[in-house]
């Protein structure tokens, strides 16, 4: 039976909690704007689940934390400077008349807030505990909204990557098509892989899910890395299959299927289907982590 941590291990959590609460009050206006963004934009609907998940990860590590830990001032000062720099960048742009868009503004402000939280961790929890809790604290980065330029870059990659994989699927299934960039001319209909077909939200959520699953269920860095990176090809294949299914419905049932519920609301179905190969990959990675039993040498 695991014994509870000694009193010294938990004594610094209360001042850290008080510091985090005070900083949250100071940044309440930022957190409120972030809450509004999370309600308005599906891409950011997860942001307030992240602290709860990070807390759970930290709670799982509670018995493995060092009993004593002294403040790590260099790390605290560095993170405090990062927080102040991000805050200054936001207000500097605002006062110069080049106020960033809401998403970019909240990215800077939320990053400043999280850097302040980490600075407090270095002061009240100390370096050994921060090393033990590096993943729970790093996971908080998913509270930061993706800046507009990054959203556009990821959407462009997924859009064009999905078109490439879709072309491969069409050719493998002998589907008659003539391609011009993102446009596929099929029998009876012409389809374009639009920006909305990038599936950025489901791919982003799947990436976060894979990181969390890798942390909980895998133990080696390389298996965790594979678990996270496999999301990229899996997302492209998922998009391609969705486009292929819609294309086949349009060819065989009629062009009106482009406005079907499967096209407009079928995202969760294909997201669920993408979980099947993901579970298989997770199973294989867990199996790869198990040490192989040495076969006994036959006696001569």
pLDDT tens per residue across all 300 residues of the chain: 444 444 444 557 889 999 999 999 999 999 999 999 999 998 899 999 999 999 999 999 888 888 777 889 999 999 999 999 999 998 888 887 776 788 999 999 999 999 999 999 999 999 999 999 999 999 999 999 999 999 999 999 999 999 999 999 999 988 888 888 889 998 888 888 887 777 888 899 989 999 999 999 998 999 999 999 999 999 899 888 888 888 888 888 887 777 777 666 667 777 788 888 889 999 999 999 887 655 555 444
Residue at token pair 């008349």: 97
pTM for this entry: 0.84
Pairwise CA distance, residues 76 & 54, whole Å: 20
Q: CB within 8 A of 224, min separation 6: which ones?
A: 211, 214, 215, 218
Pairwise CA distance, residues 134 & 65, whole Å: 12
Pairwise CA distance, residues 82 & 119, whole Å: 9
Region for residue 145 given its phi and psi (left: phi exceeds 0; alpha: psi -120 to 50; beta: otherwise): beta
Pairwise CA distance, residues 290 & 296, whole Å: 18
Find, among 129, 164, 132, the residue nearest to 9 by Cα. 129
Pairwise CA distance, residues 32 & 245, whole Å: 41
Pairwise CA distance, residues 66 & 130, whole Å: 10
Would you give the distance in Å from CA 191 to the centre of its chain?
30
8 A C-beta contact, residue 234 and residue 278: yes
179: which strand partners? Answer: 184
Q: Where are the beta strands (DSSP E) in the chain?
A: 178-180, 183-186, 189-192
DSSP symbol at 184: E
Q: Is 253 helix (H, G, I), strand (E, B) or coil?
A: coil
């Amino acid at each position: 039976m695991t014994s509870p941590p000694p009193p010294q291990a938990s004594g610094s959590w209360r001042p850290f909690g008080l510091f985090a609460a005070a900083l949250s009050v100071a940044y309440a206006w930022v957190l409120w704007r972030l809450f509004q963004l999370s309600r308005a934009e599906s891409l950011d609907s997860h942001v307030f689940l992240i602290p709860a998940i990070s807390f759970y990860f930290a709670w799982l590590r509670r018995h493995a934390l060092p009993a004593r830990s002294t403040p790590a001032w260099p790390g605290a000062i560095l993170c405090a400077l990062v927080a102040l720099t991000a805050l200054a960048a936001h207000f500097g742009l605002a006062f110069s008349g080049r106020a960033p868009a809401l998403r970019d503004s909240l990215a800077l402000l939320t990053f400043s807030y999280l850097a302040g939280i980490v600075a407090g961790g270095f002061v009240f929890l100390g370096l050994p505990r921060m090393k033990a809790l590096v993943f729970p604290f790093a996971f908080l980065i998913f509270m930061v909204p993706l800046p507009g330029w990054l959203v556009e870059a990821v959407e462009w990659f997924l859009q064009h990557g999905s078109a490439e994989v879709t072309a491969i699927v069409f050719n493998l299934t002998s589907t008659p098509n003539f391609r011009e960039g993102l446009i596929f001319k099929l029998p009876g209909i012409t389809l374009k892989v639009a920006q909305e077909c990038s599936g950025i939200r489901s791919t982003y959520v799947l990436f976060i899910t894979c990181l969390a699953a890798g942390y909980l269920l895998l133990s080696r860095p390389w298996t965790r890395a594979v678990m996270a990176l496999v999301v990229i090809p899996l997302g492209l294949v998922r998009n391609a299959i969705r486009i292929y299914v819609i294309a086949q419905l349009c060819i065989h049932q009629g062009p009106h299927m482009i406005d079907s519920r499967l096209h407009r609301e079928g995202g969760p179905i294909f997201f669920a289907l993408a979980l099947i190969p993901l579970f298989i990959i997770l199973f294989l990675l867990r199996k790869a982590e198990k040490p192989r039993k040495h076969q006994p040498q036959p006696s001569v």
